[in-house]
């Protein structure tokens, strides 16, 4: 069993004309790597009719519906995070309830609002009530604001996680850009924050540093935009970890933080 906790799909209203090919490529590569379940999100229209990190309500609803359809089409391979924009609080809460009721298994927060903003609290309370994790987009050690997103870093996510200790948070793509070592220092004392190993970065020493900072119990495997880097990290972990510990990273840790029954052999 292998669970990719950080996947994405595209749809027909994104700017990408090759959206079918990219989706098919993800599933095909997943078969080769041995990915059992892709836990995915779609960030609105990916910039088509609203910005990727500031998606409009219609774009979010369309994307979430599309992902629900994909989950129904591939019940053995795809699960969904409901993506919301916390600036529309009431609508975000209603969308989360709607999509969880329809079978999604987590919440995706990207970069529409800083992670430590009180506006995220109602969403976290609902996540706690429903027993689902939150995957939060992170810029590792954000030193300034970047155009196109109100990105958060590990310290800001840590403030949110401290306010909501019952919610498991996945710190997105430790290899996805920025100073991952800085993030790891912030995570040591945050027991409800898990490190998502995805991202295009495959730095030597990064996995050892992750293990040192949070231990094997708080590592979850994923790919994000580059499946080969996920596979490379998995191959290297085979040399770093015992077989039982490798199983934890491959899927057992994920199975423990998503709702019971979210995965086939869970």
Partner 1 sequence: MRTDVNAFVGSYPFRRVPGTSPDAVLAAMDRVGLDEAWVTHLPGVFWRDPTEGNAWLLHLAREHRRFRPVPAVHPGLADWRDALRAAGDAGAPAVRADPTFYGIDPAGPAMRALAAACGEAGVALSLAVRFEDGRQRHPNDHAPELPAAAVRALIRSDDRVRLLVTHADRPFVEEVHFGSTPAEAARIWWDICWIWGPPEDHLQTLLATVGVSRFVLGTGQPLRLPENAAAKLDLLDLSPGDRAAIESSNARALAGGRTL
Q: Does 236 bind partner 1 (CB under 8 A)?
A: yes
- Residue whose token pair is 């979430």: 64
In the complex with partner 1, the residue whose CB is nearer, 114 or 233, is 233
Q: Does 239 bind partner 1 (CB under 8 A)?
A: yes
Q: Which residues on adjacent β-strands are paired with residue 81?
A: 106
Other CB atoms within a 10 A radius of the CB of residue 73 amount to 9
d(Cα 154, Cα 193) in Å, to the nearest integer? 9
d(Cα 77, Cα 5) in Å, to the nearest integer? 12
Beta strands in 34-160 (DSSP E): 37-41, 78-83, 106-109, 134-136
Window 160-199: residues binding partner 1 (CB under 8 A): 177-181
Q: Does 221 bind partner 1 (CB under 8 A)?
A: no
From the list 62, 66, 194, 231, which residue makes contact with partner 1 (rule: CB under 8 A)? 231
Smallest separation, CB 160 to partner 1 (Å): 22
Q: Measured between alpha carbons, how far is residue 126 from residues 71, 107, 115, 132 in Å?
A: 22, 10, 16, 9
From the list 212, 217, 228, 264, which residue makes contact with partner 1 (rule: CB under 8 A)? 228
Window 200-219: residues binding partner 1 (CB under 8 A): 200-205, 207-208
In the complex with partner 1, the residue whose CB is nearer, 35 or 105, is 35
d(Cα 67, Cα 65) in Å, to the nearest integer? 5
Coil, helix or strand at residue 133: coil
Positive or negative, the CA dihedral 59, 62, 68, 73 is negative
Region binding partner 1 by CB under 8 A among candidate stretches 50-58, 84-92, 136-144, 258-266: 136-144
Q: Does 155 bind partner 1 (CB under 8 A)?
A: no
Closest by CA to 115, choosing from 95, 139, 133, 136, is: 136
Task: Write each residue from 86 to 125 as x if it is in contact with partner 1 (CB under 8 A), else as -, in one continuous string.
Answer: ----------------------------------------
Q: Does 240 bind partner 1 (CB under 8 A)?
A: no
- Phi/psi for 263 (5° steps) reads -120, 160
Window 33-92: residues binding partner 1 (CB under 8 A): 33
Window 6-35: residues binding partner 1 (CB under 8 A): 21-23, 25-26, 28-29, 32-33
Site for partner 1 (CB under 8 A): how many residues? Answer: 36
Closest by CA to 188, choosing from 202, 206, 209, is: 209
Smallest separation, CB 55 to partner 1 (Å): 21
- The residues of the shown chain that bind partner 1, judged by CB under 8 A, are 21-23, 25-26, 28-29, 32-33, 139-141, 177-181, 200-205, 207-208, 225-229, 231-233, 235-236, 239
């Amino acid at each position: 069993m292998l669970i990719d906790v950080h996947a994405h799909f595209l749809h027909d209203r994104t700017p990408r004309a090759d959206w079918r090919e990219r989706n098919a490529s993800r599933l095909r590569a997943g078969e080769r790597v041995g990915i059992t379940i892709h836990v995915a999100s779609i960030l609105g229209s990916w910039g088509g009719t609203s910005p990727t990190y500031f998606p409009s309500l219609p774009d979010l609803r369309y994307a979430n519906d599309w992902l629900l359809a994909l989950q129904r089409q591939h019940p053995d391979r795809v699960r969904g995070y409901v993506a919301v924009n916390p600036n529309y609080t009431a609508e975000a809460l209603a969308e989360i309830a709607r999509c969880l009721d329809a079978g999604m298994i987590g919440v995706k927060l990207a970069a529409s609002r800083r992670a430590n903003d009180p506006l995220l609290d109602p969403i976290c309370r609902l996540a706690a009530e429903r027993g689902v994790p939150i995957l939060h987009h992170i810029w590792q050690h954000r030193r300034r604001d970047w155009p196109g997103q109100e990105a958060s870093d590990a310290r800001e996510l840590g403030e949110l996680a401290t306010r909501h200790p019952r919610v498991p948070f996945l710190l997105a793509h430790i290899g996805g850009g920025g100073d991952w070592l800085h993030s790891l220092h912030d995570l040591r004392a945050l027991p409800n924050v898990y490190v998502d190993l995805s991202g295009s970065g495959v730095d030597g020493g990064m996995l050892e540093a992750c293990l040192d900072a949070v231990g094997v119990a708080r590592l979850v495997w994923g790919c994000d935009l580059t499946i080969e880097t996920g596979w490379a990290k998995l191959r290297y972990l085979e040399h770093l970890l015992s077989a039982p510990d490798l199983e934890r990273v491959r899927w057992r840790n994920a199975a423990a933080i998503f709702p019971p029954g979210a995965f086939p052999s869970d």
